[in-house]
Structure formats: C-alpha cells, structure tokens
Amino acid sequence: MDLDLKDEKQAKEYLDRLGVEYRFQCYHENIPDGCHRLADFLEGMRKEFEKAGKVYKTNCDENKHSQSCFKYGVYSLTGKGGVETDAEKALGYFTNACNLGYSPACHNAGLVHASKKLNTKYDMSKAVEYFENACSKNSVSSCYQLSGIYIQGRDEIEKDLKKAYDYSLKACNLGHVYSCSNLSQMYKKGEGVEKDEKLAEKYKNLTKELIDAAKQGRRIVVNE
C-alpha cells in the first residue's frame, strides 16, 4: 500500500519509523551521517531543538562531522535550543567545519570575523581569508562580500576595484542580482574594468531579468 502522508496516522507511523532508523544508525551503528540525519530529524520534524543541538555537538566533537559542526555553530551564535549564545564559541565550530571542507561554514566564519558587534576577535584579514575560501567553492554570498569589501576598502584591506570587479563578475555568473547591478555600474563608469557602454547595458538588462525571474519563482542560469 502506498504511503499517504496526508493521513495523520500513516504520517505519524512513518515519522516514528524514521526516528527509530536514525537513532539506530547513530547510536548502534555509529554512523556520523546517521547522527546528523537524526539531529536534522529532531530539529526539522520534531522541533526538539535542545535534543537536536546536543546531537549536533556530539557528532561534531566526537565524529568531526562538518555539517554538524556548522549546525552547532549556528546554535551557539543564535542561542537556539537553549544553547548559551557565544559568538566566539560559534566561530570555533564554524572554523572546524570550514577546515573539514564545508564551505557555508567558511562564509559564516568570515561573517563573525568581520563583525565588531559579535566578538572580540574582529579581524578583517581573517574574514577575507574565509570569504576567499568559500568563494573559491562557489559561495555566491562570500564572493559578494569580497566585492563589497574591495569596492570601499575596510581597515587594513585596501580598496581594489580590479578585485572588486573580479568578485562581482564571479558572483553575477552565479546568479547574484546585486553583483550584476554592480558590474553594470563598473562598466558604465570604467571602475575596475575598461569602460564599456554595451556591457553596462548587458548587465543592467541581466539584473532586470534576475529580478523578474525571482518574482515569478523562476531561476536563470547565467553564463560567463
């Protein structure tokens, strides 16, 4: 018989089976991915955030699971699940996850380093390092952050319109609307790149296409 998740009884039985399966994978088979699935299940399906946070933390600390490290970093940064809010502790978990190859954690580590409000370890040079790491793995948000940093210059990071152009181009090619808009202005003014009215118009039109597509729930693949 096909599963009907609209049927309350069938849905409950299905979720109960999932919970049993993930607990078995985690606690009996010692599978790190199973522990992460269990934590995601507790968080997303059961809304048991305190339990989920504990599983994420243990799976990071003991099994070095990158995504669990990232998730516990989020819990530490936001105080989710009753976890004490501690930006520097969150930074440690984001850093661990980044070092384990999880690019969203590199982006978050960059954000924490770049914020004077969040912690005492404000360091723009470190922030740029983490953003560069994530951008190299096609994190559009990190590429955009870097373009903004180099457009204006921040602290010890000097203004560099050529780098700003390069990062804006990459972010635009990944579909980031504001980066495409920035490219249009750069070509129009000749900032970081040779002035080119045709390319300025091209990226202006692309910006409009991306905005329209977002409103309609469509996705545009931007070619380099």
Domains detected in the chain: 154-224 (1.25.40.10)
pLDDT at 89 > cutoff 80 = yes
Residue 54 or 215, more confident: 54
Kindly state the percentage of the chain with pLDDT values over 90: 81
User: CB of 107 within 8 A of CB of 101?
Assistant: no
Q: DSSP character for 57?
A: H
This model's pTM is above 0.75 = yes
Query: Measured between alpha carbons, how far apart are the two ends of the chain, in Å?
Result: 49
> So what's the pLDDT on residue 160?
97
Q: Label residue 16 exposed, middle or buried (CB < 10 Å: 0-12, 13-18, 19+).
A: exposed
pLDDT at 171 > cutoff 70 = yes
> So what's the pLDDT on residue 1?
41
Q: Label residue 209 exposed, middle or buried (CB < 10 Å: 0-12, 13-18, 19+).
A: middle
Provide the b/e sequence for 70-91 (b: ≥16 CB within 10 Å): bbbbbbbbeebbebeeebebbb
Which residues lie across from 207 on neighbouring strands? none
> So what's the pLDDT on residue 217?
81
Closest CA to 80 of 49, 104, 51: 49
pLDDT at 6 > cutoff 80 = no
pLDDT at 9 > cutoff 70 = no
